Amino acid sequence: MSNIVAIVGRPNVGKSTLYNRLTESRKAIVDDFSGVTRDRHYGVSEWTDHHFTVVDTGGYVANSEDVFEVAIREQVVIAIEEATVILFMVDVTTGITDLDDEIANLLRKGNKPVFVVVNKLDNNAQLADATEFYSLGLGEIYTISSMTGSGTGELLDEVVKHFEDVDLEDNQRPKYAIVGRPNVGKSSIINALIGKDRNIVTPIAGTTRDSIHIHYNQYGHDFMLIDTAGLRKKTKVKENIEFYSVMRTIKALEEADVVILMIDAVEGIESQDINIFHLAEKNKKGIVIVVNKWDLIEKNNKTIKVFEEQIRQKIAPFTDVPIVFTSVTEKQRVLKVIDTANQVYQNRARKISTSKLNDIMLPIIEHYPPPSLKGKYVKIKYITQIAGTSPMFAFFCNLPQYVKEPYYRFIENQLRENFEFSGAPIQVWFRQK
């Protein structure tokens, strides 16, 4: 299931303000990791138990004036193809502009649900002005103020009705998405794995026609590969190549159980790679990092260690992730990638019995209890794993609010040391008992 909400519209209507509002509400719940680059234009959000990814298309607009409108038009077309729902944002204080009309034309021709979002309605006196936007011919209008948040709840209540909540019909097989920047070797590894025998599985309900799922069934392995490299979009504007690849990546990532993040050994891990890594982590996906083109690196007996350390520093604090060094062109360790993805898939699905958890973790906790706070002591009584698609643990105790971040990290590290969760994000909760 992958639900993508794309915010389109001309500059200055308030897209990034809304984007921040939708994604930051979530930040309060999930850890905000230090060191994450700020140039991210996509993020996770949730509304009434629906999870989705928000994309702020404005972030990808070229700077130069002449390609400007072309860029926006292209983005709207890409959004129509790739998004689940489109929020078309307009500005009540300026009324309809020529560019608004152009965008509306494209959206009317598309086949995706479009919500006309009339922004900057900071007071009700402007309601009368908003009615002008019915003339865009896109149906109902939703008045909001991105600044104060008013109206966004009503909008989201309608938006989530368009989400695809059914999972893919092919539910049992593990799904691995191969993602990474252009040219890292995604197509090459897929070709190396499946050769000419591309058994492309029929399109799956709810995904677009060009979403490529490859069924791999050889040497005792049986899984689906989600290919983000297979299709390349012709675009006139350079920035939109990235925009398109980001849309494809988000979609593949949301569908996948395990994300195989490919990095070019020569270029190293860059902010885009780290953004994808964190998106996978926040979506609780299994992760394998593949450093490809290893043949191009001059090596000695320390090189792998140095590379690994550099990568782990950049992906911290979630560093318990397998890293595989490959050369696809030299056919080195290609199958190891698949073995590792299988292993991570199992780690992510791993269930630890309550008795085993308590036998191992309670003595550790007794040895290193949470530090006392204001003279109060936290007493952890028992631990249980909560059912879910990724590992989640509840630690029942008397004063959960007294447990601070460093102790959460300690507990997670202990779980990782005592059980095999490599590549799988873990959630730890302290609960009142």
145: contact with ligand GDP by CB under 6 A: yes
What does the DSSP assignment read for 18-47? HHHHHHHHHHTTSPPPTT--S---EEEEEE
Residue of 4, 6, 8, 13 interacting with ligand GDP (CB under 6 A): 13
Q: What is the smallest separation between the CB atom of 159 and ligand GDP, expressed in angstroms?
A: 18
DSSP 101-133: HHHHHHHHHS-S-EEEEEE---SGGGHHHHGGG
Site for ligand GDP in 183-202 (CB under 6 A): 183-188
- Tokens matching residue 77: 């077309």
CA-CA-CA-CA torsion sign (357, 361, 363, 369): negative
Nearest distance from C-beta of residue 347 to ligand GDP, angstroms = 26
- Closest approach of ligand GDP to the CB of residue 254, in Å: 20
Q: Which of residues 328-357 bind ligand GDP (CB under 6 A)?
A: 328-329
- What is the nearest approach in angstroms of ligand GDP to the Cβ of residue 52? 19
In 3D space, the residue among 121, 123, 335, 140 whose CA is nearest the CA of residue 220 turns out to be: 335
Smallest distance from the beta carbon of 191 to ligand GDP, in angstroms? 8
The enclosing H or E element of 250 equals helix 238-255
Chain positions 397 to 416 lying near ligand GDP, rule: CB under 6 A, are none
151 is in an annotated binding site: no
Size of the site for ligand GDP (CB under 6 A): 31
Q: Does 327 bind ligand GDP (CB under 6 A)?
A: yes
Name beta bridge partners: 327: 332
- Give me the least distance between CB of 394 and ligand GDP, in Å please: 39
Contact 237, 62 (CB under 8 A): yes
CB 288 within 8 A of CB 324: yes
57 binds ligand GDP (CB under 6 A): no
Task: Pick the closer one to ligand GDP by CB: 141 or 397.
Answer: 141
Question: Using CB under 6 A, which of the segments 7-15, 193-201, 376-384, 388-396 binds ligand GDP?
Answer: 7-15
Q: Helix 152-159 vs helix 15-27: angle between axes, to the nearest 10 degrees?
A: 80
The footprint of ligand GDP on residues 275-314 (CB under 6 A) is 292-293, 295-296
Beta bridge partners of 260: 178, 288
| Strands 141-143, 114-119: pairing kind | parallel
- Does residue 58 have a known ligand-binding role? yes
According to CB under 6 A, which one of 35, 182, 203, 371 is a site residue for ligand GDP?
Answer: 182
Query: Candidates 33-41, 141-149, 242-250, 303-311 — which segment interacts with ligand GDP by CB under 6 A?
Result: 141-149
Q: What does the alpha-carbon distance between residue 347 and residue 414 come to, in Å, rounded to a whole number?
A: 15
Q: Is 95 in the site for ligand GDP (CB under 6 A)?
A: no
Q: Which residue in this structure is represented by tokens 């308590």?
A: 358
Please report, as ranges, the residues that interact with ligand GDP according to CB under 6 A.
9, 11-17, 58, 119-120, 122, 145-147, 180, 182-188, 229, 292-293, 295-296, 327-329
